[in-house]
Amino acid sequence: MNQSPFGTSSVDSRVPTLCTIVPPHVLDRLASAEDADIAQAARRTLARDAALRAARRAGVTPALPPAPRSAGTAAAEPRRTVYDAEHRTALPGTRVRGEGEPPLRDATVNRAYAGLGATHDLLCAVYGRDSIDGAGLPLNATVHYDRDYDNAFWNGGQMVFGDGDGRIFLDFTLALDVIAHELAHGLTQYTADLAYQGQSGALNESVSDVFGSLVKQRALGQSAEQADWLVGAGILAPDVSGEGLRSLKAPGTAYDDPALGKDPQPARMADYVRTSSDNGGVHINSGIPNHAFYLFATALGGPAWERAGQVWYDTLTGGELAVDAEFADFSRLTVKTARARFGPGGAEDEALVKAWSTVGLPAEEDD
């Protein structure tokens, strides 16, 4: 087992926390960068995230205006609202675009609006779910949050996107899977509510990476074989040596840059990183279940959101996944779920058992 090089911190996993796309260990490294502008942006982001986490643990989630359905709105249609923080930190900000309203000249607003819609569409059209809570919850996002803010997050009630510092990170709405990733934290919140600590927290992050990838692949019309399986492709500045924040295909290879460091994600349990940083390495060890999903989906081929995605969705929403589930609990339950839907001994069963075995996790209760 590897020991973490990322320092120490701890958090009570039973209280609400802030789910961010950029891990604290990445920002910690950037905060020590020789470039003063990069370091300042990272330190500012870390300070803002710490304040937001404290507010979240205290149960403070900014209230959003209600968005009731109009008389002519079908039950399964989204209710999207995008707000502009205007580079301030008060949430939600100024309302700039609501459901059915035309695009604005602000491309960031339009990307956020489209990303909310693409995520809702996957859940509704593929899995028959009406929004992330299954009951038509309005989907809200705030853009242009703070200045040089190097992150995007789900705070329990809405999504928030920074514009990046322009040197390391660009506008976080540039990656559809980042938008979907953050919304998927809401999906987990309303279903299995996986505790954000250790292996259950890494599963929480992995589920968001998986569904973020599925939203992107479906929007692009890509098969599992055609997809890049990257999370955050497009949000790294041109001079950064990297393809994205994470890779489901090859965890540990998403970036290798003098400022960012090297992607620390493992792909197998043999390389599991034990650390008290980042809530027990939730953004690091998520690479293990991420890779298992990639292996499963590519072994099956075709659209990953269909059979492979259905198994993950069924597992997350089926009511059997404990809030403190560990990787082995999740791996066994996905196999049970796959057999319930597709039958034992078929292609789905064989591919999933092999995927979990490859990353070093059990598929059977007696393993």
Instruction: Establish whether 182 is a catalytic residue.
Output: yes
Q: Which has the closest alpha carbon to 336: 304, 300, 364, 308?
A: 364
CA triple 37-182-31, angle to 5 deg:
20
Catalytic residue among 144, 283, 291, 348: 283
Instruction: Establish whether 350 is a catalytic residue.
Output: no
- Cβ neighbours around 280 below 10 Å, total: 23
Catalytic residue among 77, 99, 182, 348: 182
Q: For residue 255, report the phi and psi dihedrals to the nearest 5 degrees.
A: -155, 155
CA 282 centroid distance within chain: 11
Residues 6+ away with beta carbon under 8 Å from 249: 228, 229, 230, 291, 294
CB of 319 closer than 8 Å to CB of 330: no
Task: Kindly list the catalytic residues.
Answer: 182, 283
